[in-house]
Amino acid sequence: MREMTMIQAIHEAMKMALESDDRVMVLGEDVGKNGGVFRATEGLQAHFGPDRVVDTPLAESAIVGAAVGLAVAGMRPIAEIQFLGFIYEAMDQIAGQAARIRFRSGGQYSAPIVIRAPFGGGVRTPELHSDSLEALFLHTPGLKVVMPSNPRDAKGLLLAAVRDPDPVLYLEPLKLYRAFRGEVPEQWYEVPIGRAQVVIPGQDVTVIAWGPTVPVAVRAARSAQEAWGHSCEVIDLRTIAPMDTETLVASVEKTGRVVVVHEAVRSGGVGAEVAARLAESAFLSLAAPMVRVTGYDTPYPPPAIEDAWLPSVDRVVEAIHRVAAF
């Protein structure tokens, strides 16, 4: 085991993937000489050469389009989009090409691509840099979407994504890049895609979060325990698609109460899908209406007011107390 930050874990996973398989390559804006805007790829081009760690033009459609062609030809590209808010330029290549190739070709071809994209608020970035757009891709059949919340999962999910036979969108919470260190195995290991994790076991309320809101949910659960004695079970979804409905249902059958926390705008968010699945599969277990604590239905705000826009510990604690007292 070795203690490292999330960005270090991501860097180590890419280095191990490049070392283990000559088909793996990295491409994106400034990923080579500069080592990426957050230094996730620092030193990789010097070690593996410019043919395997490729600096591209500022053209997201070209980055993902090239990755699709490389993948169909037998390579395993890791494509970086500098910020998730820039991914609109590559929507056709992701949703119209990569996600459909296996279906379109009747299983003759697949697109084993990893698309890395940092996102999330609380770091004072300008417009389009903090947007949480995961719900757009939950609605894209053929695409897997994962989102780590800690260094151990960051490495294990990325290695699993590299080995996956289909395209994986790997979303990296900006605020957690260097927020804390965690113990990470030094060897190759994989965190299974499609499996949620119970972070804190509990009996009274199920709190469901993913990515940057997991630490918020954990702090809120502890505060609610101290203030009112509410025992909260915190679940880190980890994978948005395919979603681990089984783990969610098992928890709700025990607690009967649900709070869902995410940074994305409220309407049509992943939280709505979580609530719909629980209404379908665990309705008779519910003792109170499900509550969502989310961003608001506006564009992501400027840095001066973003703290008021983001889900806070206080907002989550209030939601926990409300459903627990119902």
Q: pLDDT tens for residues 263-309?
A: 999 999 999 999 999 999 999 999 999 999 999 999 999 999 999 99
Question: How do residues 156-185 score in pLDDT, each as one tens digit?
Answer: 999 999 999 999 999 999 999 999 999 999
Supply the pLDDT for residue 99. Answer: 98
pLDDT at 47 over 90: yes
Amino acid present at 183 = E
Supply the pLDDT for residue 185. Answer: 98
Question: How do residues 227-257 score in pLDDT, each as one tens digit?
Answer: 999 999 999 999 999 999 999 999 999 999 9
| Separation CA 306–CA 326 (nearest Å) | 31
pLDDT at 126 over 90: no
Output the six-digit token pair for 26. 């990295």
pTM for the model: 0.97
Q: Give 324's pLDDT tier (boundaries 50, 70, 90).
A: very high
In residues, how long is the chain? 326
Domain chopping of the chain, boundaries: 2-184, 197-325
Amino acid present at 306 = E
| Helix H or strand E segment including 9 | helix 6-20
Supply the pLDDT for residue 127. Answer: 83
- Domain boundaries 197-325, CATH class: alpha beta
Supply the pLDDT for residue 248. Answer: 98
pLDDT at 83 over 90: yes
- Domain boundaries 2-184, CATH class: alpha beta
Output the six-digit token pair for 180. 């804390």
pLDDT at 128 over 90: no
129 counts as catalytic: yes
11, 129, 230, 262: the catalytic one is 129
| Separation CA 222–CA 224 (nearest Å) | 5
Neighbours of 318 (CB within 10 A): 15
Amino acid present at 26 = V
Sign (positive or negative) of CA dihedral 135, 138, 144, 146: positive
Q: Do 2-184 and 197-325 agree at the fold level?
A: yes
Supply the pLDDT for residue 310. Answer: 96
Mean pLDDT computed over every residue of the chain:
97
Q: Across residues 195-220, what is the average pLDDT?
A: 98
Q: What percent of the chain has pLDDT over 90?
A: 98
